[in-house]
Amino acid sequence: EPEVTQTPSHQVTQMGQEVILRCVPISNHLYFYWYRQILGQKVEFLVSFYNNEISEKSEIFDDQFSVERPDGSNFTLKIRSTKLEDSAMYFCASSEATAAAFFGQGTRLTVV
């Protein structure tokens, strides 16, 4: 069964450092998303991406965040200068035109 793959599964970084979270969406999907889940809280939408551009972003997705689809298979989330409050599980998701989003296993980001 096709799946969304995220790497790394766990990332520890120092405050102020840049991190890049990587995702390989399901190959025929056209819509890509990033969500995050702070420990013990609900899953929150960050950004959606379609046709090589951001289609929607939440207020969480400020100038410190960026997304990119550098090639035909990867979808990345960059946090330019991490803060302690960026510690969370980050989920990548993808969907095709007629289906719900399929989520990856997540990357747990710990900012120290």
Residue 58 near residue 42, CB atoms below 8 Å: no
Positions in the binding site for other proteins (CB under 8 A): 6, 30-31, 33, 35, 41-45, 48, 50, 56, 58, 91, 93, 95, 97-106
Distance CA 50, CA 54 (A): 6
Residue 17 or 50: the one with the smaller Cβ distance to other proteins is 50
Residue 52 or 98: the one with the smaller Cβ distance to other proteins is 98
Q: What amino acid is encoded at 27 in this protein?
A: S
Instruction: Output the six-digit token pair for 109.
Output: 């980001």
Q: How far is the CB of 81 from other proteins (least distance, A)?
A: 25
Q: How far is the CB of 16 from other proteins (least distance, A)?
A: 28
Neighbours of 70 (CB within 10 A): 9
